[in-house]
Chain A
Amino acid sequence: QKEVEQNSGPLSVPEGAIASLNCTYSDRVSQSFFWYRQYSGKSPELIMSIYSNGDKEDGRFTAQLNKASQYVSLLIRDSQPSDSATYLCAVKSPPGGGADGLTFGKGTHLIIQP
């Protein structure tokens, strides 16, 4: 069974610092990786996707992927109180290896302290 593991937190980070969120996955053939942000009482919102090893930057967000270690992370620079949310890691296996749906981790609750 495919698994996606995240530390549930809460992870508390002071405003302006870098928040680092981590995720590991069990299915070695996974190809696509996503980070979703979910505010309390709201629906998940896609913020980053990454498909190849290395770093991908988008504004204050950087996704990092290491397929050999089966590890994906999200860095948030210059953290703002509005970044306080639960961050869900999601993984997609290649076609034929499962559904076109995503396997989600349970999320890390991030708190940015003003």
Chain B
Amino acid sequence: DAGVIQSPRHEVTEMGQEVTLRCKPISGHDYLFWYRQTMMRGLELLIYFNNNVPIDDSGMPEDRFSAKMPNASFSTLKIQPSEPRDSAVYFCASSPAGGRVYEQYFGPGTRLTVT
């Protein structure tokens, strides 16, 4: 079975540009999470969805960040405009419902560099 799929794997962009990260969760999983990882702050939860509905976006750093999940098999995280401090690895994770909701399966990540 395919795991969580993320694209692109690497993204280099200039400050002020729009960046869109994409995620396909594991089929049948009801939860989707977006995390950001940096050396300074570690792994931080940005937002999560349950059955395509955003549940908690309190981790989104500011209005420049937005996330959508138009259907059960696709989600996007958009940064507009991007800034150098947004440089990080962005992970998407998914998990099944019920008692195993905390067993999160991570995608390979997107390494974002903003110059």
Contact = CB atoms under 8 A, between A and B. Distances in A.
Interface residues of B, number: 24
Interface string A19-53: 00000000000001010000000111110010000
B58 A99 contact: yes
B55 to A, nearest CB: 7
Given A99-B48, A104-B42, A43 B56 contact: no
Interface stretch (B18-26, B62-70, B73-81, B103-111): B103-111
Interface in B72-115: 91, 101-109
B109 A43 contact: yes
Nearest to B106: A43
Q: How large is the interface on A (under 10, 10 to 19, 20 to 34, 35 or more residues)?
A: 20 to 34
A100 interface: yes
A101 interface: yes
A102 B45 contact: yes
B35 to A, nearest CB: 8
B43 interface: yes
Interface in B41-63: 41-45, 48, 50, 55-56, 58-59
A76 interface: no
A43 B55 contact: no
B56 A102 contact: no
Contact of B42 (A32, A49, A99, A106): A106
A42 B48 contact: no
Nearest to B105: A46
A49 B91 contact: no
Given A101-B45, A102-B45, A32 B102 contact: yes
Given A99-B55, A99-B58, A101-B33, A43 B42 contact: no
A49 B102 CA distance: 9
A100 B108 contact: no
B45 A105 contact: no
Given A43-B91, A44-B106, A45-B106, A100 B42 contact: no
Interface of B: 31, 33, 35, 41-45, 48, 50, 55-56, 58-59, 91, 101-109
Sorted from nearest, which 3 A-B pairs have the closest CB atoms?
Answer: A101-B45, A106-B42, A43-B106
